[in-house]
Amino acid sequence: MLNRLTSLLKIRADESRLVILVGLLFACIQAGQGMGDNAASALFLLRYGVDFLPYMYLFLGALTFITTLAYSAALGRLDKGKFFSTLIAIFIGLLVLERAAILFPFPLLYPMLWLTVNGISMILGTFVWNLAGEVCDARQAKRLFPLFTSAGILGSVIGNAVTGVTARLFGTDNLLLLYAVLLGVALYLTRVIAGAYFRKEKVFKNKSNLWDDLRAGFDFVRVSPLMRLIAYSSILFSVLFFSIAFPFNKVVTASFTDEAGVAGFFGLFNSITTASTFLVSLFLASRIYTRLGIINGVFLMPLTYIFSFAVFAGFYNLNGAAIARFAQLVILSGIAGTAWNALFNVVPARKRGQVLAFNNGVPSQIGVVLSGVLLIVAERAFTVQQIFLMGTILAFVCGVLIWRMRKAYAQALVDALQAGRLEVFSANEASFSGFQGDAAVLDVAIRALQDAKPTTRRLAADMLGRMESDSAISHLTRLLSDPEPAVRASAVSSLGILCADSAINEIILSLDDSDNQVREEALTVLPKLKAIPSPELITKISGMMKNDSSLSVQTKAIIALTKLGDVDESISNLTLRLNSNDPRLRLSALETVTEVPPSLNHSFDIKSILDSLENSSATIRAAAVFALGSFKNDSVCKVLIKYLTDVDESVRKAAAETLRQRSDESRELVLELFASNNSAVDSALDALAPGNPESLAPLREYAKRETVRARTLRNQSASLPSTHHATRFLHDCLRRQASLCEGRLIKTVGLFGDTHTMELIRKSMSGTNIENRAAALEALDTIGDKQLAKSVVSLLEEEPQLSDPSDVIAVLLKSTDPWVRILAIHSTSELGLREFIPLLHQLKSGSDSLMREAALGALTQFGEEKLMDTLKTVSILERILLLREIPIFADLSPEDLKLVAETAREEWYPQNAVIFHQGEEGNMMFVIVEGQLQVLRSADGTEQVLAQRGSGDFVGEMAIIESTQRSATLRTRTEVRVLAIDGETFKGILRERPDVSFAVLRSISRRLREMGV
């Protein structure tokens, strides 16, 4: 039953606890607000006087503005978890304190209580959505926010419904204590949610404040016709809201003799109103937006106010007041409020928050204050009937402003369309849920199909597809003859989204379009339509599969044929492509296999895919992994498991992703890899789906071994000084291996918790920021399997245990890692460890060339071997150590450095020799081993020295990066020895290692700053 419910509500397995916690939080807060608001209103109205309510509106506007300012400032500067918890604790304290103060004769307490409860309600209403946004990403928000809203509505209905009974049993005063108790539960839930689900991020102190947002929002509103009208309307809406609220409260107060009766009426009334609002928003609102449009949805509000004032004027009693207030709240919250908020979606996303902050902080609060002033004056100068007449006039003025919004709104939509902000019109965006059926939006999009600019027509076509409106089909069909290919392609794509069976003949004609993209879209769309394919259509697509000039079109034709039922011919053609010697053709065929697996499973020989797994190209091997993974074959996982150790990272990632998608079949095979120190462990962790209890025991055993290994590596690294080249390299290698162990341990913990949060923690742990690392440790201690997390946190918090470097080197000389052994051998001389000389003599005649070089170099430094005078070349190992000292190569692995060192050519130049001239073609970069160089540039016959370069520097990289001529001349100042690296080798490193690319950019930036550029 529980599984069916979570499936129905679209709750994933790892989200159930989160939904329960946040849903309970919403329900508790809304229930408490219902009781607290009713109690505060009843106490104020009967013990202080309803006639003072307009004066409270004056203070309420100012209070709302100040609290919004303070809340926004604190939210941007403090840790959110602690801030939210502290805020609720303060609110609990205020409520308890004010309840205690009621025992004393202090009349001014009741205005303070009314303002306090209203201020708390306003902040809590913002807080719950801030918290929800903190624990949900954009995709989760679309599914889970409606559930949170429903939980809040349920809590509000229950809280309001029991207000009357509770007030009579325990007293209206004690509703405040019950509110405090419910906030106490909310405090506990907030701490649990923050500890388990908040992302630990550094709080920046220089974030923009609300003042900046208000100013930026005002600047936008000032130049936007629509937003100006909205600002003016906001003032009037605030006045109108309290012009109904005040007489309603006045009538209710006069109708009951005691506080419990007033509180009970408010509770019952609010409970019925909330439930009705929910039903209206659920079943009626979207139909109104579709038939009338967003603007007309807002226009219902002034009409409702006119109706409410008319009811009040004719029936100034409890029945009339209830009808007027009920109509106001239901239409405002159920229909007009959502439409009103949707108007802000035409504002660019980066400005939207600022515009909302301005509108809610300035015009709306001006309206609140103004309502207080007007009601005070009106009470003294006018009769009740005259007040309602003035309210009707204000509602009429507000209606005129909204009517004028129609044109401004349409223009804002056009501007959004021309700016390419298609999210405004998307039916898939939950935050714009009112837009896709809006008649005004649809009209704007259809008219934009006739725009003179091809870009606008293309965006309009895309937009109509996203809006999912069948009425757009005929207009999109006419667009298939547009002169612009991109427009035609967008029209075909949108017709496919709309499943436009009526346009199938026109789409078939697009198969003969001169543009490749249009033909591709037509082939993609046709299988989605319900029409039975004719023999002529099959023949047409078959010809495109074999003869089209575009490889992408040929690929789409294979997929289309397969989906349309002509499987044999498509498989035959696909098999030929899979066996092709052309890498492009084979790669395209492998990618095609992943798109049509249901048609291939029972009739396709996978031998050609298995052959591609052995291809020398990593790109083809990765594509073959995905292709093989798409087949429902029991032996697939056994084949894929070995590609977790592929030499290329992209292939390993492909294998891990594919195995994770087949978790039920692959889990046992993957877990076997943890039984030993297999090189596939890192990828194996990625291959496991999170949350499976069967994985816990093997992973715990693995984590124990990995913890010991990480601790050992950390201790060894800390014990070695980093004062010389080889020792520093060895120190860093050990530290890097320890960090990799730590990362794998965090991944392991993440398999039993929030994997997304664990990835953030892993990145924070690998950084150098102390605050981020501390926050990451705090988060790690609360997420996932507690036993695993505790052991990992203990490892990460403890200080390394130092040992004698000689003992560490002795252990490392026996390491199974060849690079650790090589660097340990070379480090013996740098650390002066002469006790290893006998071992070095044995190693200098070993089979491994790099170990021989390391041993011979160490013996030479000890004076045990003589360096021949004729030997001028730099050994491969010395090249590796030299390359690592250069910033752009500092993060390369020893294997990568060896590759560069082997391809580098050593060159020697005498003093005053020119290595290359300005204007020459450049295909080499140079690493300076020893000596000094000058970088010179000639201009107007004079030569200028741009820079001096010495040992460890690199030069000549710009001509390779830009594939252009040398921008300067390079001349030696002294005798110089350099390593020349081929341009293609350097480009390959840049392509495969983004960290090297960033290092090059940093070096170039530093040089430009040195030159004052």
**Would you say residue 952 has pLDDT above 80?**
no
Which three-class secondary structure state does DSSP give residue 791?
helix
Q: What is the pLDDT of residue 432?
A: 36
Which of 71-80, 93-102, 494-503, 527-536 has the least mean pLDDT? 71-80
Q: What is the pLDDT of residue 78?
A: 75
* Assigned domain for 309 exists: yes
Q: Are residues 285 and 365 in the same domain?
A: yes
* Assigned domain for 766 exists: yes
Burial grade of 693 (CB within 10 A; 0-12, 13-18, 19 or more)? exposed
- What is the C-alpha to C-alpha distance for residues 447 and 451, in angstroms, rounded to an integer? 7
Give residue 952's region: left, alpha or beta (phi > 0; psi -120 to 50): left
Comparing C-alpha atoms, which of 446, 520, 509 is closest to residue 486? 520
Q: Are residues 371 and 454 in the same domain?
A: no
Last residue of a domain, one of 753, 776, 797: 797
- What is the C-alpha to C-alpha distance for residues 192 and 492, in angstroms, rounded to an integer? 50
In the DSSP assignment, the letter for residue 929 is E
Q: Are residues 673 and 816 in the same domain?
A: no
Range of the domain at 851: 805-871
Q: What is the mean pLDDT of residues 8-18?
A: 69
**Would you say residue 833 has pLDDT above 60?**
yes
Q: What tokens were used for 643?
A: 């590609």
Share of the chain above pLDDT 90, in %: 19
Burial grade of 496 (CB within 10 A; 0-12, 13-18, 19 or more)? buried
Q: Are residues 612 and 667 in the same domain?
A: no
* Assigned domain for 882 exists: no
Under the banding of pLDDT at 50, 70 and 90, the label for residue 272 is very high
Q: Please write the tens of the pLDDT for every residue from 188-217.
A: 999 998 887 776 554 444 445 556 767 777
Which three-class secondary structure state does DSSP give residue 349?
helix
| DSSP H stretches of helix in 171-224 | 175-197, 210-223
- What is the C-alpha to C-alpha distance for residues 945 and 910, in angstroms, rounded to an integer? 19
* Assigned domain for 693 exists: no
Q: Are residues 749 and 832 in the same domain?
A: no
Last residue of a domain, one of 797, 820, 839: 797
Q: Please write the tens of the pLDDT for every residue from 857-884.
A: 888 888 887 654 433 466 788 888 877 8
Q: What is the pLDDT of residue 204?
A: 42
Q: Are residues 464 and 552 in the same domain?
A: no
- What is the C-alpha to C-alpha distance for residues 404 and 299, in angstroms, rounded to an integer? 11
Q: Please write the tens of the pLDDT for every residue from 699-712.
A: 888 888 888 998 99
Comparing C-alpha atoms, which of 898, 723, 734 is closest to residue 809? 734
Of 759 and 398, the structure prediction assigns the larger pLDDT to 398
Q: CB of 424 within 8 A of CB of 413?
A: yes
The enclosing domain of 423 has a CATH number of: 1.20.1250.20
Q: What is the pLDDT of residue 569?
A: 85
**Would you say residue 688 has pLDDT above 70?**
yes
Comparing C-alpha atoms, which of 511, 507, 502 is closest to residue 530? 502
**Would you say residue 275 has pLDDT above 80?**
yes
In the DSSP assignment, the letter for residue 45 is I
Which of 79-83, 102-106, 990-994 has the least mean pLDDT? 990-994
Q: Are residues 536 and 501 in the same domain?
A: no
Tokens 């019925």 belong to which residue?
Answer: 272
Q: Are residues 669 and 566 in the same domain?
A: no
**Would you say residue 67 has pLDDT above 90?**
no
| DSSP H stretches of helix in 937-993 | 957-962, 983-992
Q: Work out how many domains the chain is built from and give that number.
A: 8
**Would you say residue 928 has pLDDT above 80?**
yes
Burial grade of 303 (CB within 10 A; 0-12, 13-18, 19 or more)? middle
User: Which run of H or E residues covers position 914?
Assistant: strand 914-916
The enclosing domain of 930 has a CATH number of: 2.60.120.10
The enclosing domain of 547 has a CATH number of: 1.25.10.10
* Assigned domain for 876 exists: no
* Assigned domain for 881 exists: no
Last residue of a domain, one of 382, 410, 445: 445
Q: What is the pLDDT of residue 324?
A: 93
Q: What is the pLDDT of residue 485?
A: 93
Share of the chain above pLDDT 70, in %: 86
* Assigned domain for 87 exists: yes
Q: What is the mean pLDDT of residues 333-343?
A: 80
Q: What is the mean pLDDT of residues 391-404?
A: 93
Q: CB of 930 within 8 A of CB of 976?
A: yes
Q: Are residues 131 and 241 in the same domain?
A: no
List phi, psi (to 5°) of 548: -65, 145
Q: Are residues 18 and 111 in the same domain?
A: yes
Q: Are residues 623 and 641 in the same domain?
A: no
**Would you say residue 457 has pLDDT above 50?**
yes
User: Which run of H or E residues covers position 269?
Assistant: helix 259-283
- What is the C-alpha to C-alpha distance for residues 41 and 269, in angstroms, rounded to an integer? 13
- What is the C-alpha to C-alpha distance for residues 226 and 755, in angstroms, rounded to an integer? 44
* Assigned domain for 463 exists: yes
β-sheet bridge partners, residue 930: 977
Q: Are residues 514 and 584 in the same domain?
A: no
